[in-house]
């Protein structure tokens, strides 16, 4: 199933990319010999007009073969005005950019459609900071309906509404026990950074301090914690939420390897001694699940869904831009940011397991990746062909075709080597 999903994803991404090149070439009058999906021997083909449409055996990759693409074709049967290298540099650049442009369009449309179609979880108060403005009025489990004049759908909505207050009183509407209530909160200046805050944590679910599940392999189970226990204090610090448990355990581990827990079990207080053995909080809480206040979902209207989709698309683009910047600057290692076919296949598999709409979101994100990577001016990619066209326009004459061909060939070899290395690393990571 993973292999089929991966192949479907690659076919869609490559197919829409090559379709962009094909449509642009036809629009400016370039003769297209072949539009092919896949590589290797032809399985199915049909010629319509001047173009052969083919489906090839190996369903990875694809290409649009245009007249004069390598500048070496004489093609006496093809009129000169329909040969690619006879077109002005700006038209050739347009044809090169049209592939990534189609991937950008696919990413945008998929993101818009899935954001509108998906039900979004209603954000809840997961915890409040003691002494903060929110602590006086908000409780864990409160559903956030609106802040100021803005209906709340995402964490960005909350951040934006608080920032827009300028420190002035904010009306926040919540739903508690099925009833809507309105409170006024005065934001305070954020400590150590610009902006304002109200001192609350918001999540799609609000974990409680009650143990819902604990496996025998868990360190808490070994220490004596049971399902149904309510953790009341850790290292002498009172806790009442799941986030409070995590924070208190972090603090307690800073001073000692043995942490005292107090739990409420069947109405009685039970003291438990937890030996950390040098483990961090994440390891200690592994295989442990906390209860929660339930999860609610709602679908945004059409207009709101489109707005949220545009914001999500912009967030994806910004994330990729920062990643590329960090890779170039050396502040982030390539092995942390780049995945090959195996990594992509695993990502697609996980998305499908979470549902069709999540799979589509991942498809949109991959399409955006595909577009941006292809626009990098690296030999063999569309971006480099744009650079060659620009250089020709500036020089007033083309770069010798043999030299350009060698440059692109070197680029393809480098990319192939990188692909093998990344794939090897992805396999080791999955096996590990």
Residues 108-136: pLDDT tens digits? 999 888 888 888 889 999 999 999 999 99
pLDDT tens digits for 145-200?
Answer: 999 888 899 898 999 899 888 889 999 999 999 899 999 999 999 887 888 999 99
Alpha helices in 229-301 (DSSP H): 242-255, 281-284
Two structure tokens written together for 404: 């350009």
**Pair (237, 140) in one structural domain:** no
- CA distances in angstroms from 47 to 56, 81, 303, listed in the order given: 14, 22, 43
CA angle 330, 427, 37 (to 5 degrees): 90
State the pLDDT at residue 265. Answer: 94
CA 46 from chain centre, in angstroms, equals: 38
Domain membership of residue 364 (yes or no) is yes
**Residue 329 is assigned to a structural domain of this protein:** no
Residue 302 included in any domain: no
Residue 191 and residue 98 share a domain? no
DSSP for 164-220 reads HTTTS-EEEEEEETTEEEEEEE--EEPTTSSSEE-SEEEESS-EEEEEEEE-TTSHH
Phi, psi torsion values for 425, nearest 5 degrees: -65, -40
- 45: pLDDT strictly greater than 80: yes
Q: SS3 for 228?
A: coil
Cα–chain center distance at 49: 41
Which two three-digit tokens encode residue 87?
Answer: 């077109």
In tens, the pLDDT along 219-263 reads 999 999 999 999 999 999 999 999 999 999 999 998 788 999 999
Q: Which residue has the tokens 């509108």?
A: 116
Task: Count how many Cα atoms sit within 13 Å of the Cα of residue 387 in the half-sphere of its side chain.
Answer: 14
Answer yes or no: is 13 within a domain.
yes
Mean pLDDT calculated for residue range 29-50: 89
The predicted structure's pLDDT at residue 292 = 93
Residue where one domain finishes, among candidates 275, 292, 309: 292
Instruction: Verify that 245 and 283 share a domain, yes or no.
Output: yes
Residue 6 sits in the same domain as residue 110: yes
Three-state DSSP at 293 gives: coil
CB neighbourhood size of 341 (10 A): 14
CA 41 to chain centre: 35
pLDDT score for 412: 80
If pLDDT is split at 50, 70 and 90, which confidence band does 214 have? very high
Q: Which two tokens stand for residue 103?
A: 């991937």
State the residue range of the domain holding 372. 2-117+344-431
Residue pair 132/185 in contact (Cβ under 8 Å)? The answer is no
Which of 254, 269, 292 terminates a domain? The answer is 292
Kindly report the CATH number assigned to the domain that includes residue 165.
2.30.42.10
Whether 103 and 64 have beta carbons less than 8 Å apart is answered as no
- What is the reported pTM? 0.71
> What is the pLDDT at residue 114?
86
In a domain, 409, yes or no: yes
- 323 domain-assigned: no
Same domain (yes/no): 384, 396: yes
Q: How far apart are the C-alpha atoms of 253 and 251, rounded to whole Å?
A: 6
Query: Which alpha helices (H) appear in 144-229, and where do they start and end?
Result: 155-164, 219-223
Residue 335 counted as domain residue: no
* 285 pLDDT above the threshold of 70: yes
Domain boundary among 167, 182, 203: 203
């Amino acid at each position: 199933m993973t292999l089929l999903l991966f192949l479907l994803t690659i076919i869609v991404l490559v197919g829409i990319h090559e379709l962009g090149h094909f449509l642009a070439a036809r629009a400016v009058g370039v003769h297209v010999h072949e539009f092919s999906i896949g590589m290797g021997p032809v399985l199915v083909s049909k010629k319509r007009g001047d173009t052969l449409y083919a489906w090839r055996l190996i369903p990875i990759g694809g290409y649009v073969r245009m007249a004069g693409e390598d500048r070496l074709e004489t093609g006496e049967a093809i009129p000169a005005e329909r040969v690619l290298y006879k077109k002005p540099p700006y038209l050739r650049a347009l044809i090169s950019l049209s592939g990534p442009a189609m991937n950008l369009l696919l990413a945008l449309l998929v993101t818009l459609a899935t954001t509108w179609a998906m039900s979004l979880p209603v954000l809840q108060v997961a915890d409040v900071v003691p002494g903060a403005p929110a602590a006086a009025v908000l409780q864990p489990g409160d559903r956030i309906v609106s802040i100021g004049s803005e209906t709340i759908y995402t964490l960005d909505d909350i951040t934006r509404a608080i920032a827009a207050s300028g420190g002035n009183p904010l009306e926040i509407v919540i739903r508690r026990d099925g009833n809507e209530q309105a409170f006024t909160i005065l934001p305070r200046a954020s400590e150590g950074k610009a902006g304002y805050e109200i001192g609350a944590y918001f999540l799609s679910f609000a974990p409680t301090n009650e143990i819902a599940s604990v496996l025998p392999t868990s360190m808490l189970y070994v220490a004596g914690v049971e399902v149904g226990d309510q953790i009341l204090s850790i290292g002498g610090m009172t806790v009442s939420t799941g986030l409070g448990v995590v924070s208190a355990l972090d603090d307690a581990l800073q001073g000692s390897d043995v942490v005292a827990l107090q739990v409420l079990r069947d109405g009685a207080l039970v003291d438990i001694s937890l030996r950390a053995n040098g483990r961090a909080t994440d390891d200690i809480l592994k295989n442990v699940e906390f209860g929660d206040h339930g999860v609610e979902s709602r679908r945004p209207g059409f207009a709101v869904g489109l707005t949220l989709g545009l914001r999500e698309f912009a967030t994806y683009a910004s994330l990729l831009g920062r990643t590329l910047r960090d890779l170039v600057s050396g502040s982030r290692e390539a092995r942390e940011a780049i995945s090959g076919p195996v990594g992509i296949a695993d990502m697609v598999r996980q998305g499908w397991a979470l549902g069709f709409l999540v799979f589509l979101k991942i498809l949109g994100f991959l399409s955006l990746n595909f577009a941006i990577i292809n626009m990098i001016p690296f030999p063999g990619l569309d971006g480099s062909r744009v650079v060659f066209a620009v250089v020709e326009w500036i020089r007033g004459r083309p770069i010798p075709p043999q030299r350009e061909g060698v440059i692109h060939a070197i680029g393809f070899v480098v990319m192939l080597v990188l692909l093998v290395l990344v794939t090897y690393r992805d396999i080791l990571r999955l096996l590990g």
